[in-house]
Amino acid sequence: MKILVTGGAGYIGSHTCKVLARHGFEPVVYDNLSRGNRWAARFGMFELGDIGDAARVRSVLEKYRPSALIHFAAYAYVGESVASPLLYYRNNIGETASLLQTLIDSEPTPVVFSSSCATYGVPSQLPISEDHPQQPINPYGYSKLVVERMLRDIDVAHGLRSVSLRYFNAAGADPEAEIGEAHEPETHLIPLVLAAARDATAIKVFGNDYDTADGTCIRDYVHVLDIADAHVRALKYLIDGGTTCAVNLANERGYSVLEVVATAERVTGKSIRIELMPRRPGDPAVLIGALEKARTLLGWKPERSGLEVQIRDAWKWMMRES
């Protein structure tokens, strides 16, 4: 069974393609490589193209006749979205609308959508469940929320069913180190901390006066392989006739910035210098997600939930690339 994976040359997309292949699916990666890596698209077939190019998308759909779409293709830098909001509205919303229109015109196959906990904004309760108000505080989060709404409306109008997966902080890398995280620029904490260990540089810590045990922000880290597994489970749920819904992907456990640094020091055996910086505007003190719905609906639970496991896998990948 062929599955079209837009953005399949990216971090989470490439890991999902590997898991798809292991489960007997045939991934068809569709990526313009503006932010993905051709070397990461190694599990299945590859097609170069933009999701907003209707003619190109149509030709790929006609060539492969995929049974479903997993949609990762999007810009994903919060800071960039604040500085260039129209870039995000055009790419994440406008291009996705074009993709979905082409899909509907061809055949409305089910969609698994890569959404984000950024749709929630600043939490009013913890852990954050799927019925928490969605009030994003940046254009990136808003763009994900709009696509979720588009998918619900399209289901009503055209019967195109979907699962939107709202994941918290993706972390780690393929334990076999075949693929891993390779962003340019890198903004995720764990690879930045590991790069500081590798290069003997300092890691910037933004704020140490939050209302947490050690004063630094707490985040819920989910191994990228667990996220990939959830996409495959969501795909099977839709293939089996499941209805449109949104589901968190979380560990329901948080770690502070200083806990990440201390764990990285244990894994790498290196001392990591810290450079304290002022708080960043809009950074909530704690973000932790609820996972009950994913467990109940998809039979999913994170298998690589330990922070040390996630950092060890990321370090193994980084050392291989070095």
pLDDT tens-digit map of 80-90: 999 999 999 99
- The phi and psi torsions of 271 (rounded to 5 degrees) equal -80, 140
- pLDDT band at residue 282 under the 50/70/90 scheme: confident
> Given a cut of 80, is residue 146 above it in pLDDT?
yes
Share of the chain above pLDDT 70, in %: 100
Position 193 scores a pLDDT of 98
Q: Is the pLDDT of residue 182 over 80?
A: yes
pLDDT tier for residue 280 given thresholds of 50, 70 and 90: confident
- CB burial string 88-101: b at 16+ within 10 A, e below: bbebbbbbbbbbbe
Examine the pLDDT at 321 and tell me if it is beyond 90.
no
The domains of the chain, with CATH numbers, are 2-170+223-249 (3.40.50.720), 171-220+252-321 (3.90.25.10)
Tell me what pLDDT residue 281 has.
83
Among 140, 142, 167, 237, which one carries the catalytic annotation? 140
The residues with which 5 forms a beta bridge, in sequence order, are 29, 70
Residue 177 confidence (pLDDT): 96
Q: Cα–Cα–Cα angle for 184, 190, 195, nearest 5°?
A: 65
Query: Which token pair is 181?
Result: 């995280």
Residue 230 scores a pLDDT above 80: yes
Q: Is the pLDDT of residue 184 over 90?
A: no
Q: Is the predicted pLDDT of residue 133 greater than 90, yes or no?
A: yes
Instruction: Establish whether 140 is a catalytic residue.
Output: yes
Tokens of residue 246, six digits: 């949104």
What mean pLDDT do residues 284-292 have?
Answer: 96
Whats the size of the chain, residue-wise? 322
